[in-house]
C-alpha cells in the first residue's frame, strides 16, 4: 500500500508539472505578439565574394493556396500529416505511436512532426538536437496555430519548404522541374515533388531517379490509404513518364546548409542584432564562406567515406589571421542528418591536445632536443595511486628520444612525463590562453586528450600557433546590413598576443615531424603516408581515441580541423582511422593550390638559430650519423655533447 501511495504521489506531481508547463506555454502564446510568418527568416546570405548563396523568404515565389494543385495539397497532407486539419499543432497519438515503434526497434527512424512543427523549424530554428530547441519549436508551433488558420499555415509551409537544387517553395519547384505553375501540376508530378523535401539531395529525380520513384510510390500509397485517390489513379500516376525540364547537371552543395545553420546560430548571439531578427525584412549577412572550398569539402567527404556506413564527420577551415571560418561541415549528409556536429558537439580530442603541452614545455625551458626515455612506465603518486599509460601498439624505443620524435610518433609516455614534470597547470594555462573554454581535468591523462572539446574551439586554439602567437575569435559573419544598407554589425577581427612568436615558430616546425621520413626508427611518424603526397609544408597533429579520430593542421594561410567518429561512440575500426586524414589532406592541398612554401610558411625569427641534430635522440649530429635533421632553438639553448638532458629522476620526483 505504501508503494502505491508513493507511486500515485509521483504520478500526481508529474501530471501537475505537465499541466503547469502547458498552461504556462499557452499563457506565453496568448501574450506574445503575432508571428509574421510571411516575412520571417527573410535573410540574404553572402559568401566572401559578396555572391548570394541563400535568400530566405525573398527567394520564394509566393502563391496562394487556391493557386496550388489539389494533388499537391492532398499528397502533402497524406504523406506528412494526415490529421493536419484536426489537431492543434501536435498529433499526440502519432507521437505515442512513433515513440513506441522507435523504442521497439531501438532506433529513431520514426518521426511525428506535424506540418506546423516543420514550418516552425524551417522559419525560426536551426536543427540542433537540444531540449532548448525542442522547447522553442513547441512554442513557435503554438504561436503559429494561435494566430493563423490551417489554410494559412499550409500555404506558408508549401511556399517555404526545400524542394532541392536551391528551389524553395512549390511554385519555384514546379517551374524548375516541369516548367509549370503549381496550379498546373498533375498527380504524377505532384507526388514526385512532394516526396523530395524528405531528403532533397537523395530524392531529387536529377540525382537518383530510382530513389525518387520509390519515394513517389510511398506518397501515392499514402494517398490511397487515406482514400484521396484510387488504386487505379495511383498506378496511372506512377507509370506516367515524367519530362523533367531543370538542368540535370546543376551543381548543388547540400553541405552549405550546415554553414547556413551555423550562421543562424551565430546571428542569435550578436548583441547588435535584436532577438527578433527573424521578423526583420531584408537583413543582409556577409559571411566568410569560400564557396569553392565548401564544394571541395563536400566532394571530398562523399568520395572518402562510404555511403553505407554510419560514421560521421565534421570539418572546420579557418583563416588564422582573422578567425573567419571559410568552410564548415557538420556531418557527411545534411539530408540524412541535419544535426550540426561542428557547432553542437564535443568529442574527446586525443593527442591533438599535445601541442598545447609542448608549447608549455618550450616556455618552461624545454627545447626541441629535450629527451625522456621511451619505455613502459608506471607512475606511482603520493596517495599510492598508479597510472600506466601505453604507447599506440605498445611500441617503445627503450632509449632517450627528443621532443621531435615524441611528436612524430605521438608518444604517450613522453607526453605524460612532460606533463608531470611541468605540473598540470602549465598545459591548462596555455589552453586557456589560446581560447579553449571547455572543462579540463587536472589529471595525468590530460595531454592524451581525455576531455571533450568542440571542433571550432580546437581550430581556434591551433590558430594561435598558426598566427605566430596571436589569439583570434572564430566567426562566420563578417558584416550585417539592414535593407537600406546601414551597417548593423561589423566583425572586429582583433588579435591578442598570447604566445611567444619565436616559440610558436619552433613548435610549428616540430609539428612537421608527423610526416617526416627522417623520424623513421623503431616506429613510424603518425602521418608518414602523407610524406610523398603533400606539396606544401604544414604543421600537423592527429588525435586518436577508441571512438574519435582527429587531424588538425595549419600554415600561415589556413587551419583545418577534421573529426570522424560515430554519434553513439561506437569503437572505430582500423579502416575508420583513414577518413579524417584523407579529408584533411585533400582539403588543405586544394586550398593552397598554386602557392609556394615561401608564401605560406614561417620566416625564422632573429633570436632563433638552426643546427643539425640526430633526429631521434636530439643530440648534435656528427659525421657518422646517417640521418641529420635541421632543428630550431632559441639562441643559447642549442644542445651540445656535454648537455645534461631531462632524465627519469626529475620526472619521478615530480610524480611523487
Pseudo-torsion of CA 158, 160, 164, 165, nearest 10°? 130
Decide if 76 contacts 158 (C-beta within 8 A). Answer: yes
Give whole-number Cα distances, 556 to 422, 467, 523, 538, in Å: 29, 6, 30, 9
CA 353 to chain centre: 18
What is the DSSP pairing of strand 43-46 with strand 283-287?
Answer: parallel
Helix, strand or coil, per DSSP, at residue 490: strand
Among residues 440, 457, 487, the alpha carbon closest in space to that of 550 is found at 457
* Residue 179: other Cβ atoms inside 10 A: 12
Residue 581 grid coordinates: 586524414
Collapsing DSSP to helix, strand or coil, 544 comes out as: strand
Q: Which residue has the cell 568552410?
A: 327
Answer for the pair 255, 329: CB distance below 8 angstroms, yes or no.
yes
Place of cell 498527380: 187
Residue of 546, 544, 542 whose CA lies nearest to 568: 546
Q: Of 639, 481, 490, give the one whose Cα is nearest residue 43.
A: 481
User: Do 38 and 62 contact (CB within 8 A), yes or no?
Assistant: yes
Compute the Cα dihedral for 517, 522, 527, 533 and give only its sign: positive
Q: What DSSP string describes 565-578?
A: E-TT-PPPPGGGGG
37 vs 333: CA distance, rounded Å = 28
Name every residue whose Cβ is closer than 8 Å to that of residue 402 and which is 6 or more positions away in sequence.
Answer: 368, 369, 370, 371, 613, 615, 616, 617, 618, 631
Instruction: Tell me the catalytic residues.
Output: 80, 351
Instruction: Name the 3-class secondary structure at 630.
Output: strand
In angstroms, rounded to a whole number, what is the distance separating the alpha carbons of residues 286 and 292?
16
How far apart are the C-alpha atoms of 508 and 358, rounded to whole Å?
A: 11
Report the length, in residues, of the chain. Answer: 656
The answer to whether 273 and 489 have CB atoms below 8 angstroms apart is yes
Amino acid at each position: 500500500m505504501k508503494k502505491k501511495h508513493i507511486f500515485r504521489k509521483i504520478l500526481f506531481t508529474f501530471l501537475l508539472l505537465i499541466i503547469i508547463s502547458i498552461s504556462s506555454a499557452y499563457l506565453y502564446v496568448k501574450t506574445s505578439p503575432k508571428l509574421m510568418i510571411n516575412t520571417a527568416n527573410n535573410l540574404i546570405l553572402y559568401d566572401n565574394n559578396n555572391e548570394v548563396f541563400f535568400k530566405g523568404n525573398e527567394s520564394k515565389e509566393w502563391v496562394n493556396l487556391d493557386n496550388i494543385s489539389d494533388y499537391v495539397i492532398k499528397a502533402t497532407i497524406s504523406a506528412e500529416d494526415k490529421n493536419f486539419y484536426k489537431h492543434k499543432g501536435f498529433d499526440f497519438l502519432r507521437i505515442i505511436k512513433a515513440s513506441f515503434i522507435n523504442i521497439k526497434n531501438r532506433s529513431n527512424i520514426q518521426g511525428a512532426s506535424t506540418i506546423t512543427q516543420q514550418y516552425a523549424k524551417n522559419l525560426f530554428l536551426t536543427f540542433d538536437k537540444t531540449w532548448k530547441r525542442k522547447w522553442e519549436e513547441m512554442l513557435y508551433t503554438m504561436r503559429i496555430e494561435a494566430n493563423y488558420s490551417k489554410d494559412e499555415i499550409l500555404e506558408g509551409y508549401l511556399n517555404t519548404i526545400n524542394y532541392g537544387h536551391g528551389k524553395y517553395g512549390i511554385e519555384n519547384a514546379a517551374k524548375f522541374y516541369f516548367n509549370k505553375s503549381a496550379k498546373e501540376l498533375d498527380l504524377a508530378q505532384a507526388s514526385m515533388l512532394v516526396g523530395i523535401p524528405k531528403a532533397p539531395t537523395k530524392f531529387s529525380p536529377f540525382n537518383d531517379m530510382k530513389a525518387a520513384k520509390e519515394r513517389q510510390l510511398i506518397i501515392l500509397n499514402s494517398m490511397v490509404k487515406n482514400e484521396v485517390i484510387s488504386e487505379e489513379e495511383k498506378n496511372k500516376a506512377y507509370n506516367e513518364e515524367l519530362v523533367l525540364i531543370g538542368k540535370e547537371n546543376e551543381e548543388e552543395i547540400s553541405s552549405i546548409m550546415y554553414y547556413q545553420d551555423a550562421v543562424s546560430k551565430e546571428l542569435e548571439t550578436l548583441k547588435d542584432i535584436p532577438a527578433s531578427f527573424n521578423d526583420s525584412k531584408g537583413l543582409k549577412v556577409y559571411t566568410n564562406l569560400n564557396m569553392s572550398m565548401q564544394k571541395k569539402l563536400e566532394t571530398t567527404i562523399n568520395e572518402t567515406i562510404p555511403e553505407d556506413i554510419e560514421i560521421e564527420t565534421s570539418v572546420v577551415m579557418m583563416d588564422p589571421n582573422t578567425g573567419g571560418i571559410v568552410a564548415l561541415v557538420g556531418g557527411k549528409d545534411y539530408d540524412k542528418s541535419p544535426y550540426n556536429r561542428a557547432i553542437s558537439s564535443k568529442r574527446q580530442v586525443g593527442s591533438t591536445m599535445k601541442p598545447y603541452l609542448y608549447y608549455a614545455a618550450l616556455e618552461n625551458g624545454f627545447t626541441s632536443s629535450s629527451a625522456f626515455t621511451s619505455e613502459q612506465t608506471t607512475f606511482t603518486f603520493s596517495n599510492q595511486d598508479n597510472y600506466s599509460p601505453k604507447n599506440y601498439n605498445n611500441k617503445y624505443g627503450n632509449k632517450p628520444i627528443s621532443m621531435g620524435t615524441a611528436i612524430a610518433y605521438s608518444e604517450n609516455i613522453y607526453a605524460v612525463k612532460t606533463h608531470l614534470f611541468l605540473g598540470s597547470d602549465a598545459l591548462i594555462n596555455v589552453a586557456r590562453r589560446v581560447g579553449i573554454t571547455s572543462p579540463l581535468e587536472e589529471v595525468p591523462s590530460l595531454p592524451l586528450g581525455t576531455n571533450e572539446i568542440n571542433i571550432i574551439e580546437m581550430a581556434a586554439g591551433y590558430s594561435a600557433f598558426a598566427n605566430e602567437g596571436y589569439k583570434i575569435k572564430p566567426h562566420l559573419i563578417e558584416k550585417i546590413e539592414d535593407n537600406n544598407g546601414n551597417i548593423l554589425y561589423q566583425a572586429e577581427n582583433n588579435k591578442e598576443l598570447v604566445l611567444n612568436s619565436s616559440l610558436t615558430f619552433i613548435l610549428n616546425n616540430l609539428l612537421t615531424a608527423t610526416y617526416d621520413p627522417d623520424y623513421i626508427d623503431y616506429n613510424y611518424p603518425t602521418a608518414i603516408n602523407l610524406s610523398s603526397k603533400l606539396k606544401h609544408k604544414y604543421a600537423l597533429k592527429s588525435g586518436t581515441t577508441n571512438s574519435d579520430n582527429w587531424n588538425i593542421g595549419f600554415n600561415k594561410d589556413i587551419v583545418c580541423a577534421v573529426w570522424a567518429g560515430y554519434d553513439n561512440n561506437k569503437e572505430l575500426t582500423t579502416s575508420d582511422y583513414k577518413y579524417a586524414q584523407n579529408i584533411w589532406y585533400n582539403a588543405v592541398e586544394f586550398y593552397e593550390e598554386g602557392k609556394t612554401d615561401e608564401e605560406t610558411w614561417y620566416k625564422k625569427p632573429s633570436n632563433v638559430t638552426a643546427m643539425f641534430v640526430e633526429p631521434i635522440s636530439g643530440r648534435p649530429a656528427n659525421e657518422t650519423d646517417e640521418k641529420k635533421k635541421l632543428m630550431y632553438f632559441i639562441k643559447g639553448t642549442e644542445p651540445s655533447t656535454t648537455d645534461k638532458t631531462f632524465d627519469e629522476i626529475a620526472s619521478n620526483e615530480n610524480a611523487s
